[in-house]
């Protein structure tokens, strides 16, 4: 199997490192519009060589590991690929991407969202084993071709991922709560502190709690602006529900209703009974 990866940052670079270990993968090449990313990917040995956009159309599998708006643009330039090629996107949103797939290549396309990543980006951020033991959501798989479904399942299984299946609309609403809203909150937490006159003194006290809450604010603004734009309605719903919870807690603190505050915290503790 010969594989081409569009986008050689964290997700694409980490994918390349993992794919290199699979015995059925013969060649891994890359493409990135950023020339520095191209040279870094070669220097780091993430891919064997850099190809042109037209050249990658001859590979068995094309991964789209780029921001979600870029995925849509790329799909429209891949309309002439062979019916034997599998195109797999790794975007954080799914519904608008799936709706934008040209009809000519709908069978070629597999909508996937690996539930993994870090706050870092670029080829230097690539991590071997990033995908192992993580979940991958495959959306609207019934509209993909038989070959493409088989190929995607084989690759993600070989990467050691746990596969989940759902519709793209359902995925985007879920992702708004467990991924997109937390990023929005993290950016807001960071900006709240940065706007204080004595921010350096405040940050001198930063320990594990603040660092954990603000970690996601290091994430790529380019990527996350696109995600917020594509999943606007679901994200706004999640933010509104979060604001309501925060308002309830604020109200109880203002009114010194400490039993209610304690109960809210106790209820929140139950989350990790599910996650752990």
74 with 114, same domain?
yes
163 with 183, same domain?
no
145 with 14, same domain?
yes
Query: How many residues appear in the chain?
Result: 276
Contacts 24+ apart (CB under 8 A), 226-229: 226/67, 226/68, 226/69, 226/70, 227/67, 227/68, 227/92, 227/93, 227/180, 227/183, 228/180, 228/184, 229/69
| pLDDT confidence bin for 4, thresholds 50/70/90 | very high
Domain-terminating residue out of 167, 196, 225: 167
Residue, of 272 and 176, whose pLDDT is higher: 176
Domain-terminating residue out of 140, 167, 194: 167
Question: 217: which DSSP letter?
Answer: G
Asked whether the predicted pLDDT for residue 208 surpasses 80, the reply is no
pLDDT at res. 273: 82
186 with 152, same domain?
no
- The CATH number given to whatever domain includes residue 111 is 3.40.50.720
Q: Are strands 2-6 and 162-166 parallel, antiparallel or unpaired?
A: unpaired
136 with 49, same domain?
yes
Asked whether the predicted pLDDT for residue 197 surpasses 80, the reply is no
pLDDT at res. 206: 67
Q: Which stretches of 43-176 are assigned E, i.e. beta strand?
A: 49-50, 61-64, 86-89, 109-114, 135-139, 162-166
- The CATH number given to whatever domain includes residue 237 is 1.10.3660.10
Domain count, the chain: 2
Asked whether the predicted pLDDT for residue 18 surpasses 80, the reply is yes
17 with 81, same domain?
yes
Asked whether the predicted pLDDT for residue 207 surpasses 70, the reply is no
What are the tens digits of pLDDT across the range 50-87?
999 889 999 999 999 998 899 999 999 999 999 999 99
| pLDDT confidence bin for 170, thresholds 50/70/90 | very high
| pLDDT confidence bin for 271, thresholds 50/70/90 | confident
122 with 8, same domain?
yes
User: What pairs with residue 112 in β-bridges?
Assistant: 138
pLDDT at res. 219: 87
Domain that holds residue 156: 2-167
Domain-terminating residue out of 167, 201, 216: 167
Rounded to two decimals, the pTM is 0.87
User: What pairs with residue 3 in β-bridges?
Assistant: 28, 61
114 with 148, same domain?
yes
pLDDT at res. 193: 85
> What does the pLDDT average to over 234-239?
97
Average pLDDT, the chain: 92
12 with 45, same domain?
yes
121 with 219, same domain?
no
Asked whether the predicted pLDDT for residue 205 surpasses 80, the reply is no
Sign of torsion over alpha carbons 243, 177, 214, 208: positive
107 with 7, same domain?
yes
What are the tens digits of pLDDT across the range 82-141?
999 999 999 999 999 999 999 999 999 999 999 987 778 889 999 999 999 999 999 999
136 with 91, same domain?
yes
């Amino acid at each position: 199997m010969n594989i081409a990866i569009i986008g050689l940052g964290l997700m694409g670079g980490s994918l390349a490192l993992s794919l290199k270990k699979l015995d059925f993968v013969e060649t891994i090449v890359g493409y990135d519009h950023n020339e520095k990313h191209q040279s870094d990917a070669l220097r780091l040995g993430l891919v064997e060589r850099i190809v042109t956009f037209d050249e990658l159309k001859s590979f068995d599998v094309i991964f789209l590991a780029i921001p979600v708006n870029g995925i849509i643009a790329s799909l429209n330039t891949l309309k002439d690929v062979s019916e034997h090629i599998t195109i797999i996107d790794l975007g954080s949103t799914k519904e608008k991407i799936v709706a934008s797939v040209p009809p000519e290549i709908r069978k070629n396309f597999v909508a996937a969202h690996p539930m993994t990543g870090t706050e870092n980006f670029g080829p230097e951020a690539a991590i071997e084993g990033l995908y192992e033991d993580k979940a991958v959501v495959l959306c609207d798989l019934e509209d993909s071709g038989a070959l493409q479904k088989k190929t995607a399942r084989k690759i993600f299984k070989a990467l050691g991922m746990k596969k989940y299946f759902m519709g793209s609309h359902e995925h985007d609403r879920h992702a708004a709560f467990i991924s997109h809203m937390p990023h929005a909150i993290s950016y807001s937490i960071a900006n709240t502190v940065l706007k204080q006159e004595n921010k350096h003194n405040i940050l001198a006290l930063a320990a594990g709690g603040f660092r954990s809450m603000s970690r996601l604010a290091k994430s790529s603004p380019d990527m996350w602006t696109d995600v917020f734009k594509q999943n606007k309605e679901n994200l706004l719903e999640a933010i509104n529900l979060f604001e309501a919870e925060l308002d309830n807690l604020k109200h109880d603190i203002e009114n010194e209703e400490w039993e209610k505050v304690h109960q809210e915290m106790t209820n929140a503790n139950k989350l990790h009974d599910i996650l752990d």
